[in-house]
Amino acid sequence: MKKLSTSVLVGILLVLFLFGSSVFTVYETDRALIVRLGRLVTEDGDKAKVLEPGIHVKIPLLDTALFFDTRLNMTDISSARIVTSEKKDLIVDLYVEWRINDFAKFYTSTFGMGDSRDRAEELLRQKVVDVLRAEFGQRTIRNVVSGERKELMERLKTNTGENVIAGLGMELVDVRIRRIDLPPEVSDAVFDRMRSERKRVATELRANGESKAEVIRAEAEKQRRVLLAEAEKEAQRLRGEGDALAMRTYSASYSQSPEFYEFYKSLEAYKQSFNDKQDVLVLNPNTSFFKYFRNTVTKP
């Protein structure tokens, strides 16, 4: 009885294993192929059978289900060195958008390996770079940078798409160039020349500015000297007129009262001589300078 129970349990487990190995699900974003003993299962003659989304059955231990993503994929191609018609090297970064449109051809072109996507991207990069070299080799740097860039991307899309569809079972959706640059060694030389040119222009501008500044300073100095000379001339004239007026005033005062005029002038001299308490005069007190300090008064 115990032996019978064990056999039933083993049988149930075997049935569950076979059922689990034979039933699988294809999701909405995927498609599947069946490989039976190393060959694709076909229908309608030699056309590979592509399984749509849903639940499917395969033969356990004989069939293998391979799943392929139908969504849009993007592959970066960075730092590809391309030569133009001028024999100038360029570093080009671009990306490619693609999707699988022939699952059997995609499987055979990537050798059915587990990393079929990586293999497909590697082949895609090779083909895109080959077409890119052919297109850039017919154009100058000016053409690929600005003049014919839109046309260039259209030709890349067309030419690369034809090669990819024919050989890899993929559909090329778009090709876009993200960056076109000079190699580092060339960029350094270009930047050095640019810096030298900018330095030369800056030196020239500074020299011109200094020359103009000297002219402006010379003109300003000339005007300053002219203004000072005219001001000095006017001051001399005014001083002369003032001195003449003072002399006439003194003469008129002297003619009216010579003694008062002399007294007034003596007071002015005293004021100038004793302007500071620290002033010391070494004079004979009997001199005429101090005659108004003495008690002698001369009556008119």
Domains, in order of start, for the chain: 18-69 (no CATH), 73-181 (3.30.479.30), 268-300 (no CATH)
Q: What is the pLDDT of residue 141?
A: 78
Per-residue CA distances from 77 to 31, 55, 96, 145 (Å): 27, 38, 8, 18
Give the separation between CA 41 and CA 162, rounded to whole angstroms. Answer: 27
Who's near 29: CB < 8 A, 6+ residues apart? 69, 70, 71
Q: Is 78 helix (H, G, I), strand (E, B) or coil?
A: strand
Rg of the chain taking only CA atoms, in angstroms: 55
Q: Tens digits of per-residue pLDDT, 132-147? A: 888 888 888 777 777 6
pLDDT at 163 (0 to 100): 61
The predicted pLDDT at position 164 comes to: 59
Whole-angstrom distance, CA of residue 62 vs CA of residue 231: 118
| pLDDT recorded at residue 300 | 47
Regions of the chain with pLDDT less than 70: 1-4, 8, 10, 14-17, 19-20, 111-115, 147, 162-166, 187, 189-190, 254, 257, 273-300
Write down the pTM of the prediction. Answer: 0.55
pLDDT at residue number 228 = 92
Element (H, E) at 89: strand 89-100
